Structures are given as C-alpha cells and as structure tokens.
Amino acid sequence: MPEMLRWYGGILLAEYYQGLEYVAATVAAIILLSSLDDLFIDVWYWTRKLWRRVTVERRYAPLTVEQLYARDEQPIAIMVPAWREDDVIAAMIEDLVRVLDYRAYTVFVGTYQNDTATIREVERMRHRYKHLHRVEVPHDGPTCKADCLNWLVQAILHYEYEAGIEFAGIVMHDSEDVLHPVELKFFNYLLPRKDMIQLPVASLERHWFELVAGTYMDEFAEWHGKDLVVRESLAGAVPSAGVGTCFSRRAILALVDETEHQPFNTESLTEDYDIGTRITKLGMQSIFPLFPVEFTTRRKGWFGLGREREIRMTMPLCVREFFPDTFRTAYRQRARWTLGIGLQGWALTGWSGSLANRYLLMRDRKGVVTAFVGMLAYLLAVQFMLFATASYFGVASDFFPSPFIDSGWLQALLAANSVALVLRVTQRIIFTTRLYGWEHGVLSVPRMVIGNVINFMAVARAWRLFIVHVTTGQRLAWDKTMHDFPSNDALRDTRQELGDLLVSWQAIDPERLEEARRTEHAREAPIGRVLVTRGWLDEETLAEAIAFQADLPRGRFDAARLDPASVATPDTLVRLRALPQGVDATGNAVFICASLLDDASLGELREAAGRAVALHIVRESEIAAGLRTLRAAGMTVFTNDAQDDESPALDDAAAARGVPLLGDIMIEMGLVTRGAFEAALRNYRPERHGRIGDYMVAERVITPDALTAAIAEQRRRYLARAGIR
C-alpha cells in the first residue's frame, strides 16, 4: 500500500510539473506581448531624443530662466484641497511662500467644516499670509478630492468677481508638495497659450533602506522621465497628475460650462486623470514640458555609509513629495489609482479618440491583468527552482518528458523574455540614476520585485472593490493617503532679513521696504516699527514675522499671569521690555517680548528669574499694555505715556490703542540714536531716577525741547487712534 501511494504520488507530481510547464509557456507569451509594448515605448523615446538632438536642439535655442523672469507676472491662483492635513499643511504653506519667486499669486486652501484641526492650522497661516484664503466646504468630510476642488474653483471665480481681477491660470497642488522657486514663472511664461501644463512629479530622495518608498523614486523617475514624454509625442495630450498641474482660465471656464459648475468629476477616484482626458476632448492643448533647473539636495553616499554631502544637480522642473513608506499604505494608494484609471476609467470613458490614444489607454489599463501574470511568473519561478533542487538531490526526478523539449519557439520565447528583462532593468537603472545617483540606480533592481508585489496587492484590492461596486451598487469610497512633509529644519531659512521675509509674504511692497530701510539707516529705528508707524504693516503680521524668523512661538499677554515679584530685579523688565508670564510645563520661565533679545539680555532675564527662560513673541501694543498694568499696580515704571498722571482712564484706554512707546517715537523723529537710547536704558533705575524722560534730559541724552516734542507727537497719535480731535 505505501508503495502504491508513492507511485500515485509520483504520477500526480509529474502531471503537476507538466501542468506548470504549460502554464509557464502561456505566461511567457503574455509577458512577451507586454514587453513588446514596453519596447515600443523605449524605441520611440530614444529615437525621438536622438532626432531632436540633431534637429530641433540645433535649430532653436533652449528656453532660459532669464526669459521666464523677463515676462510680466500675471495673476495665478493655487488651490490646495485639505482633509485631515493638520500635521503638514502649515509646513507646506510656509515652504511654498518661502520658495516661490513670484508675487502675483493667491493661495486657496479647501477645508471641511468638521475638520477643526486643519482649520486651526490654515487660519494660523492665514493671519500670517495675506494672500492665503481658506475655503470651507459647506458639508462634513470626508468626501472625494474632486468635491473639494469644485468648491475651490467656485471660490476662486467668486474672488475674481469681488476683487475685479482675472487669474491667468489655476494651479493644483496637494498638502505634501515641495515646489521649485521658478514654478509659477514657468507657468506664467506659457499662459495663456497652453491650456493644461503638467509638470513632472518626483519622489523626494529616501534612505537606501526605505525599500517601499524607494519604489516610488524608481517608478516616477521612469514614468515621468520617459513614458509621459512619449505619450505627449504620440497623442498630443497628457493626463493630469493631480499636482503640479496648471489650467488656463479658458480651460477652467470651459469645464465649468460643460459640467454645470462641477469641473472635477466626483464620480471618479482619479479626477486628475479624468480631467486630462476631458481637456483633450474639448480640443484644448496640454503639454508635458521638461525644463532643466537646478536643485540642491543632501545625499549620503555608499548606501548610507559615507558622509552626508550637499549636491547641486540639474533636472527637469518638477514637483517633489514624499510617497508612502509602508507596504499597506503603498498598495492601498496604488489600488485607488488602479481602480480609477484601469477599471473606473474603462467603464466611464471606454475606448475613444485616435488610434494612438486608444493604444495609450490600453497601456494604462493592461496593469489590471499583467500584475497577476507577473506574480504568477514569480510563483512559477520559485516552484521550478524547488523542483530543480529536489531533482538535484534525487528526491523527485521521475517526470514526464517535457512537451516543449524540442520546441524551438519556446526557447526563442524565453530568450526574448530574457533580453526584455535585461532591457527593463537597464531602463530603470538609467532613469533612477539620472535623478538620484548610481547607488539608488543599483538599488532600483531589487526594488522592482518589491514594486511588483505592491502592484499585485493593489490590483487585487482594486478588482475586489470594483466587483463589489458593480454587483451591489455600493459607492466607491475615496481611500485617503496620509501625507508626510520634509522637516522645517531642512526647509526653513531663518537667516532671511526681516524686510525680505515680509516681502516674500506679500505683506509689504518692495518699494515701501526700500523707503523704510532708508529711514532705518537714517534714524536707527527698527524697520518693523517704521513699517507699522507708517501704516504699511499691522502689528500682528510683524509679530508673526519676528516669531517665524527666530523660530520662536507666538504668545499672548495675560494680565493675570503678570507677576513682577517672580523676577529678582523688576526694573529689568522695563529696560528689556520683556514681561513674565509664569512657568511652562518644562519649568522654564516664560517671558513675552515684541522683538528679539541679544545674548546679554537673555542672560539678565535668566539671572533675574533664577531659571532657564523661554521667549514668546507678542505685539508691541501688548508690551505697552503690560507695562501700564505694572504702573497701575504701583510699580514705578516708565511707560512712555503721552497722558498726564491725573488721567488713569485715558492711560488704560491707551493700551488698547497700541500707542508707540516714547523711545521709539524719539528714534523715529531723529531726536536720539538707538545706541544712545539703549545705553541710557542700561543705567536707568526707575526707583532712583524717576521718569526716564527726565533722566535722559538730566543726562543730556536729549534736550528738554526734544522730550516735549516727542510727548506731543505721542499724544497726537493717541488722540488720532482714539478718534478724538
């Protein structure tokens, strides 16, 4: 009996092995067909590149950055949909404003009414950047991205009507995007001649051991470096990638008219791909440009073993971002892409357009089949290796003669597939090396296997969701991907001068900045105070800028927390214009101030408080209000009030009016230099010297007439702010 079982088992094993051979032949044939498709794209790309090198590039001079800057700026809108993006949206907006070398742009961020965390972060940024607007979707989220985009488009068109302007283009970005300084300059150059401009998308560089995230580096480097170039060349159109896409005003209005104010398709999970297709059907021109620019990145060599170095490299102008770095988030994101492009797109748009367009649609959709074939090929390879090992050790060697033992066509098929595999690997190495260096180029080979496994899981999930949708009518839900953004340490440049920072925020005009700088140099008045005094800048924006520049938190003056007794020498508060606000959770003494303090001043505060100090930045009017509060409590301080001592009611009202301090007024009027004024403050003791104005006159720092003139000017400003004539 055992011998019979072994005999039957051997027969079954031999039949199973023969079945594997038939399946392998079928799989090899399908892989060859797919490889021929890929080979056509390769040949077209390299032939076109060579042809353009010897014709177009010799005949026409390439576009330069100087030409971009020579073009007058047109108004451009940027829309950013945001659902549960509170951990990245502020950093993205900060970096966007810091990076973009463009002035005539307005940012619109779409939020949902039940997403309070994201609303809070956007509102915080809105108070800082005057060209940022928050658009609230009037119902709870989450919905689909297309729904949020539709509300953003409506808000942009309404803003045009209210402001009396017309945006030349509307740019789409996500809350994880890292932009290049000349992006809007480039769009501005092509508008309104082009109706849809799609920049390449690239992954930010990852560490060598982040294999899942690394697959995005490799795939986007090849897709956006080669495949989309060929697509534009073949069909004269490209799909939108959802980020780095600029629509002309004409295109947006045409889509609005066509869809009754719903330009983005809320029924599609890949509204970006869908809108690119509809742009083409409307007969409008879309392009995929490759404009070389310089990027700076930090890279570790030798697979992370070498020292980190800064590299300046030239690559196409693109949008960079972090893609998912875990297996689950990666395959779920790709499942949404597959579902929207490969299955839903097939059902919604069918096979339309020119022969070239239909061929490209086939390329987009073949993955819903080839992902299974590729995984089956891996399983077959593993099983054949196991059988070969068993045969080598004599464990299983009695197989039926192979039906393909004399098959020349199968040998040719396998040889062709081997060549195709080498070509695929070579192409991947070339395009990955271009953007990320040879180390990542080598790593792209094993990452191809990981990418194929991720794609298999994604396609399996997409088919499952689509079949459930078709059979039950269950609505397809948008599976949101959580986003990461580079750390502020990698992006923020706190060395930017305050005035330049305010210009980049569009808080002031460059002409006014130059005029303020002339005043600053002539009278030594702080440039921020000059701008506020002249009505060119509000105190809130100035405080935000100072806090951002120094990477310090914003604070708020709380009279209940004002305890001068907690400081050993209360007169230090007057001289440094810093007020105590209790102790934070880490045990640091919290002080609020309206400007940065030097190391010596910080040392004084530490000594006076008897512990480490944490600074928070507030408005100048809050410091003035705090000093007045101290005087009202009986502390002898110099508050620079224009009021008489007999007018406490007027004194209290002045705090709310933000009347400038007397010292600032004297400096602005040129009655005293800042250096002389600060020197007087260092030696001034209110309990000994009384009013500082009288002290400065006694020390001959200022004249009595100068003090009288400054007090009169301060009173005039107070009365003007109070509306008293």
Q: What is the pLDDT of residue 721?
A: 65
- Buried/exposed 93-127: b ≥16 CB within 10 Å, e otherwise: bbbbbbbbebebbbbbbbbbeebeebbebbeebbe
Q: Which residue, among 332, 338, 352, 363, has the nearest Cα to 269 in the 3D structure? A: 338
Q: For residue 542, give the H/E element and its range.
A: helix 539-550
The residues that bridge with 392 in the sheet, in sequence order, are: none
Q: Is the distance from CB of 494 to CB of 549 less than 8 angstroms?
A: yes
CA distance 579 to 591: 5
Q: Mean pLDDT: which of 162-171, 344-353, 473-482, 540-549 is highest?
A: 162-171
Split at pLDDT 50, 70, 90, the class of 650 is very low
CB proximity list for 44: less than 8 A, separation 6 or greater: 230, 233, 234
CA distance 361 to 235: 11
Split at pLDDT 50, 70, 90, the class of 649 is very low
89 versus 681: the higher-pLDDT residue is 89
Split at pLDDT 50, 70, 90, the class of 399 is low
Q: For residue 479, give the H/E element and its range.
A: none
Q: What is the pLDDT of residue 210?
A: 92
389 has pLDDT over 60: yes
Split at pLDDT 50, 70, 90, the class of 287 is very high
Q: How many helices (H) and strands (E) does the chain have?
A: 31, 14
Q: What percent of the chain has pLDDT over 90?
A: 37
Residue 516 is assigned to a structural domain of this protein = no
In terms of residue numbers, what domain contains 29? 1-494
Q: Is the distance from CB of 265 to CB of 275 less than 8 angstroms?
A: yes
- How many domains in the chain? 2
Residue 106 is assigned to a structural domain of this protein = yes
Split at pLDDT 50, 70, 90, the class of 635 is low
Category of 556 on φ-ψ map: left (φ > 0), alpha (ψ -120 to 50) or beta: beta
Q: Is the distance from CB of 135 to CB of 109 less than 8 angstroms?
A: yes
CATH code of the domain in which 347 resides: 3.90.550.10
Residue 500 is assigned to a structural domain of this protein = no
Category of 723 on φ-ψ map: left (φ > 0), alpha (ψ -120 to 50) or beta: left
Q: Average the pLDDT over 46-57 and give the result.
A: 91
Last residue of a domain, one of 435, 460, 494: 494
Q: What is the pLDDT of residues 653-670, one digit of tens each?
A: 444 455 666 776 777 777
533 has pLDDT over 90: no
301 has pLDDT over 50: yes
Residue 78 is assigned to a structural domain of this protein = yes
Residue 620 is assigned to a structural domain of this protein = no
Q: What is the pLDDT of residues 16-37, one digit of tens each?
A: 888 888 898 999 999 999 999 9
Last residue of a domain, one of 441, 463, 494: 494
Chain length of the chain: 725
Q: What is the pLDDT of residue 317?
A: 95
What are residue 395's phi and psi, to 5 degrees? -75, -40
Q: Are strands 76-81 and 105-112 parallel, antiparallel or unpaired?
A: parallel
Last residue of a domain, one of 462, 494, 526: 494
Q: What is the pLDDT of residues 239-257, one digit of tens each?
A: 888 899 999 999 999 999 9
Q: Are strands 589-593 and 578-583 parallel, antiparallel or unpaired?
A: antiparallel
Residue 550 is assigned to a structural domain of this protein = no
Residue 551 is assigned to a structural domain of this protein = no
Q: For residue 635, give the H/E element and its range.
A: none
CA distance 529 to 666: 12
648 has pLDDT over 60: no
Lay out the sheet containing 76-81: strands in order across.
132-137, 105-112, 76-81, 169-172, 245-248, 196-198, 286-287
Q: Mean pLDDT: which of 228-237, 425-434, 627-636 is highest?
A: 425-434
651 has pLDDT over 70: no
396 versus 22: the higher-pLDDT residue is 22
What are residue 474's phi and psi, to 5 degrees? -65, 130
Mean pLDDT computed over every residue of the chain = 83
Q: Mean pLDDT: which of 10-19, 259-268, 417-426, 491-500 is highest?
A: 417-426
CB atoms near residue 164 (< 10 Å): 6
Category of 530 on φ-ψ map: left (φ > 0), alpha (ψ -120 to 50) or beta: alpha
Q: Which residue, among 545, 656, 498, has the nearest Cα to 127 in the 3D structure? A: 545
Q: What is the pLDDT of residues 109-159, one digit of tens each?
A: 999 999 999 999 999 888 788 899 999 999 998 888 889 999 999 999 999
Q: What is the pLDDT of residue 231?
A: 92
Q: Is the distance from CB of 119 to CB of 111 less than 8 angstroms?
A: yes
Query: Read out DSSP for 139-184?
Result: SPSP--HHHHHHHHHHHHHHHHHHHT---SEEEE--TT-B--TTHH
CA distance 379 to 617: 62
Q: What percent of the chain has pLDDT over 70?
A: 85
Split at pLDDT 50, 70, 90, the class of 493 is very low
pTM higher than 0.85 for the full model? no
Q: What is the pLDDT of residues 437-479, one digit of tens each?
A: 888 999 999 999 999 999 999 999 999 988 988 888 777 666 6
CA distance 42 to 427: 8
Q: C-alpha distances in angstroms, 118 versus 106, 159, 255, 342?
A: 19, 22, 29, 32
Split at pLDDT 50, 70, 90, the class of 524 is low
Residue 154 is assigned to a structural domain of this protein = yes
